[in-house]
Chain A
Amino acid sequence: MTITLTVWRQAGPAAPGAFETYDVPGVSPDMSFLEMLDVVNERLMHDGKEPIAFEHDCREGICGSCGFMVNGQAHGPERRTAVCQLHMRKYRDGAHITIEPWRAAAFPLIKDLIVDRTPFDRIIESGGYIGVSTGGAPDGNEIPIPKPVADAAMDAAECIACGACVAACPNGAAQLFTSAKMQHLNLLPQGQAERWDRTINMVETMESYFGSCTNHRECEAACPKGISIDFIALMNKDYLKAQLKQRRMIGQTFP
């Protein structure tokens, strides 16, 4: 099949960017979307043009490296699917596909379709862990964890930090990512000791980079792992509680 591909090209953070359009004949329906881009890149290089830069690695939908907007949708039209797992058979012959990088102020552009998602690491650094050092852990069966709790924590922990939730959000908010990372730990017995500090620190770090949530639910629809916005509700609940439990806050409220 033949498709027409319009791509955002930008040489670097400071360079001006523009859309460029390429005709792509000879696309096989069995190709993945990224393999189609590989083919485009091979042809561009033979024509003496620089290939389209895009991040990717595992191509199995788990590393979270890839991701861009496909016809205005994060990761493209297939639900619960990262763009590396999207296949060209989803498109008809003659389709016109426009791809552009994640659009979010917190994710500055590096080149073409590559953006800088480092603020996600900053959020984890601020408290997205359980503070146990190596060694001296009790036996793994010492703390029984009910299956539904373990399953719910796992539902949250599946997040691949691709950034689709931020890109899909009209406010460029990172609530879905932050809440998934936080609630994975807050739901587990092991995560209780640092629960309130973790909540405050992660939310405040998030707010220093990203926009606010106004319940559009675009994030949930775009998430390649199908993470539920229920975790955002749990995060908000924990944030409220954490404010009440926080000593300095109590000091201000009840002098």
Chain B
Amino acid sequence: MDLESKMPAGPLPEKWDTHKFDVKLVNPANKRRFDIIMVGTGLAGASAAASLAELGYNVKVITFHDSPRRAHSIAAQGGINAAKNYKNDGDSIWRLFYDTIKGGDYRSREANVYRLAQVSVDIIDQCVAQGVPFAREYGGKLDNRSFGGAQVSRTFYARGQTGQQLLLGAYQALMRQVHTGGVTLYPRTEMLDLVVEDGRAVGIVCRDLNTGEVYSMSGHAVVLATGGYGNAFYLSTNAKASNVTSAWRAAKKGAYFANPCFTQIHPTCIPASDEFQSKLTLMSESLRNDGRVWVPKELDDRRPPDQIPESDRDYFLERMYPAFGNLVPRDVASRAIKRIVDGGRGVGPLKNGVYLDFQDAIARLGRTVIEERYGNLFEIYERITGEDPYVVPMRIYPAIHYTMGGLWVDYNLMSNLPGLFVLGEANFSDHGANRLGASALMQGLADGYFILPYTIGDYLAPMLGTKPVPVTDPVFAEAERGVTEQVHKLLSINGNKTVDEIHRQLGTVLWDNCGMSRSEQSLNKALSEIPAIREEFWKNVRVLGKDETRNQALEKAGRVADFLEFSELMVLDALHRNESCGGHFREEYQTAEGEALRDDEHYAYVAAWEFTGVGIEPKLHKEPLEFEFVHLSTRSYK
């Protein structure tokens, strides 16, 4: 099948307007004749469900949380970008577009990214109208701050809880629609299969997490807004329950998975403290404005940091990248830290971190200024590590925290399966090979508030007068049977290893071989090890308890089963992409200075993978990326 991106023709700034005029519409009175299933209630899902219901569609919303407000969008700290140019510093839609496409190392579509920059300004207005308490200046106007990868101040924020406030805005809009009856909410419900009939997505199979009941829902369209797959690595900054299940089960039903090897590592996370570590915590990248990164010059220097004199310290980022110093982009900083730690110069009890030291900043600016800027973050750090960062330097290490890859979608956000739409982190569309800070929130809300509500009509309009496929149709019964069988199988194995033990094993293989840097050798090693772990899982996993009551181990087992299949695809994709770009760094493809070396001639395409069977080589479909408006250049930070 050809991948048709449905990108409108014409000059870049006019494409979205042209497209909005060209798409088919559903008359306001007819919208109530359409049922839409929304899976997930993060920024993208909640904003889309609310907006669709406001338009008049019937929306069924499912979330595995107890309340839609708990989705992991809530944990985003830094902010949301928008090309408002309130600071009069030369920002524009074109500049936000250009920064984003360049930051993504030229592996995203021009038209999508431009549209994102265009609607970014509407997002801020919408959120303010909803009552999102963005930071204000004394004159009452909105405040902005700067973020990595940009030379203008365009990031809007609400203290260190921007994601929380934006999500609550969308959640409240959603609850307003629950009140009016436009949205029917199904909390504590997990989607376990996509139902496809005649090549179209017609519904889903879900499981009620409290009662174990497996049942189907049908609709004219299914929308997945189910987030990223960073938890494949076991240790990540994602919430514990974040997973790839909905996206992967859709992929197994024919939806193509695009660029799964594009994973982002955040350099400033708190290193693992022991083998029981359950997740990693991110510290905002803003800390690198004033903190200096260093390690001892000598191997096995066991002295406490305050007893290591200046002459015995290696401020390696400043040494390697004199121009950008500690403020090099995320991927560059992460790889440098990894090289140092792998070289045996890591610090801390497990030698798994590097220092981020504020002593110079405190001496220069005074403790009060540092408290004002970072007090909140220092408090989080102190709570987790028990060390006071005003006195002892912080220890940091990179961790997985976002995935740029996702289900393939066209310009309408529809996957190759008609009727299946994918939003937010779950799709692959806008960030290319690397996402800039404060752009995830922007994309989630752009998709939900301002893109899907227009584009879904184009698919639905011709279906006017048709009823959704009834859930009594055999296609639903068959999918339900598959789900029930898997649940029973997981409960019946009763082996010797817990789900977490196996998940940790998988995570270690992925992190060591398909993490911050990859090589043909390491990827082949991962490919040889993953099937064995998967096999062991299905032979030896121990899931206790019943199906009929809440069973968190069972829920987790289903998700890990999917990670075990999906990871193989991620590794394959990394192996096939013989270039380095953004978050995908192949050791064989680097410049003499150790920077990523892109191969635009051979790899300027989206790799969309078609599932052909577990353990069977998937089929690659390429969507060429054409750049009409920007010039492809090499990023340099020296």
Contact = CB atoms under 8 A, between A and B. Distances in A.
A53 interface: yes
Interface stretch (B170-178, B288-296, B312-320, B351-359): B170-178
Given A38-B500, A147-B138, 7 more contacts: A62-B74, A63-B75, A85-B380, A126-B179, A133-B54, A185-B131, A188-B133
19 contacts: A28-B276, A30-B386, A53-B550, A57-B65, A58-B240, A63-B70, A64-B70, A85-B380, A87-B383, A110-B210, A124-B171, A129-B173, A130-B130, A134-B173, A137-B126, A140-B127, A144-B136, A146-B138, A147-B137
Contacts of A64: 69-70
Interface string B499-512: 01100000000000
A129 B276 contact: no
Interface string B151-193: 0000000110100110010011101101100000101000000
Interface in A121-158: 121, 124-126, 128-135, 137-141, 143-147, 150-151, 153-154, 157-158
Interface stretch (A42-50, A96-104, A206-214): A42-50
Contacts of B54: 133-134
B271 to A, nearest CB: 11
B199 to A, nearest CB: 31
A138 B161 contact: no
A182 B142 CA distance: 22
Given A58-B75, A137-B122, A145 B136 contact: yes
Contacts of A39: 276
B44 interface: no
Contacts of A139: 125
Nearest to B273: A30
Interface in A7-53: 11-12, 28-32, 34-35, 38-39, 42, 45-46, 48-51, 53
B159 A45 contact: no
Contacts of A157: 133, 158, 165, 168
B141 A129 contact: no
Interface of A: 11-12, 28-32, 34-35, 38-39, 42, 45-46, 48-51, 53, 55-60, 62-65, 78, 81, 85, 87, 89, 110-111, 114, 116-118, 120-121, 124-126, 128-135, 137-141, 143-147, 150-151, 153-154, 157-158, 160-161, 184-185, 188, 190-191
A130 B129 contact: yes
Contacts of B450: 134
A146 B74 contact: no
B276 A145 contact: no
A50 B66 contact: no
Given A81-B383, A137-B126, A154 B133 contact: yes
A81 B383 CA distance: 9
* Most interface-central of B68, B128, B137, B277 (chain A CB within 10 A): B128
B139 interface: yes
B140 A145 contact: yes
A81 B382 CA distance: 12
Contacts of A46: 496, 498, 542
Contacts of B175: 121, 124-125, 128-129
- Which 7 residue pairs of A and B lie closest in terms of their CB atoms, listed nearest first? A144-B140, A129-B172, A137-B129, A30-B273, A140-B128, A137-B125, A150-B136
A39 B130 CA distance: 42
A31 B131 contact: no
B552 A51 contact: yes
B161 A62 contact: yes
A130 B171 CA distance: 11
Query: Majority SS of interface residues in chain A?
Result: loop
B1 interface: no
A36 to B, nearest CB: 8
A209 to B, nearest CB: 14
Contacts of A147: 136-138, 140
B449 A87 contact: no
A48 to B, nearest CB: 7
Nearest to A124: B175
Given A11-B549, A57-B72, A134-B54, A35 B165 contact: no
Interface of B: 47, 50-51, 54, 65-72, 74-75, 84, 86, 122, 124-131, 133-142, 158-159, 161, 164-165, 168, 171-173, 175-176, 178-179, 185, 187, 210, 239-241, 273-274, 276-279, 281, 380, 383-386, 449-450, 453, 496, 498, 500-501, 542, 544-545, 549-550, 552-553
A190 B130 contact: yes
A113 to B, nearest CB: 11
A186 to B, nearest CB: 10
A48 B544 contact: yes
Contacts of A56: 240
A93 to B, nearest CB: 16
Nearest to A37: B278
Given A134-B450, A185-B131, A63 B72 contact: yes
Contact of B239 (A59, A125, A191): A59
Contacts of B449: 134
A42 B501 contact: yes
B550 A111 contact: yes
Nearest to B50: A134
A29 B274 CA distance: 10
Contact of A117 (B51, B66, B172): B66
Nearest to B172: A129
A60 B75 contact: yes
Given A28-B276, A87-B386, A147-B140, A118 B122 contact: no
Contacts of A59: 239-240, 278-279, 281
Given A31-B276, A124-B172, A134-B449, A45 B50 contact: no
A34 B552 CA distance: 14
B447 to A, nearest CB: 12
A206 to B, nearest CB: 15
A141 B133 contact: no
B65 A35 contact: no
Contacts of A45: 498, 542, 544, 553
B251 to A, nearest CB: 24
B52 to A, nearest CB: 9
Given A12-B549, A35-B276, A157-B133, A57 B241 contact: yes
A161 B65 CA distance: 13
Contacts of B274: 28, 30-31
Given A62-B164, A85-B384, A143-B128, A150 B133 contact: yes
Contact of B276 (A12, A38, A48, A141): A38
A138 B67 contact: no
B59 to A, nearest CB: 13
Contacts of A145: 136, 140
Contacts of B86: 141
B140 A57 contact: no
A111 B66 CA distance: 13
A131 B383 CA distance: 39
